[in-house]
Amino acid sequence: MHWVNGVDGWITFTWWAILILIAIFIIRYFVKRNMHPEESKALNILKERFAKGEIDKDEFEEKKKHLVD
């Protein structure tokens, strides 16, 4: 009987560990996604300007480098 309780304890521990890891990954995903919304907005504007032909490729790459760093 003691062996069954030990196995049940490990199953419960494993279940909670999996749930905690899933929660950590979900939280990290949302935190990372919302970390720098200004940079994302600026990069989108830069992409639009490049697509419209307002800036050339060299200028796009230079400005993108400053935004990403």
Q: Give the model confidence (pLDDT) of 22-55 as tens digits.
A: 999 999 988 877 666 666 788 899 999 999 999 9
Report the alpha-carbon distance of residue 10 to residue 51 in Å, rounded: 56
The yes-or-no verdict on residue 19 having pLDDT over 90 is yes
HSE of 39 in the Cβ direction (CA atoms, 13 Å)?
Answer: 12
- DSSP letter at 34 equals T
Q: Average pLDDT of 8-24?
A: 91
Could you tell me the pLDDT band of residue 66, with boundaries at 50, 70 and 90? confident
> Around Cβ 59, how many Cβ atoms within 10 Å?
13
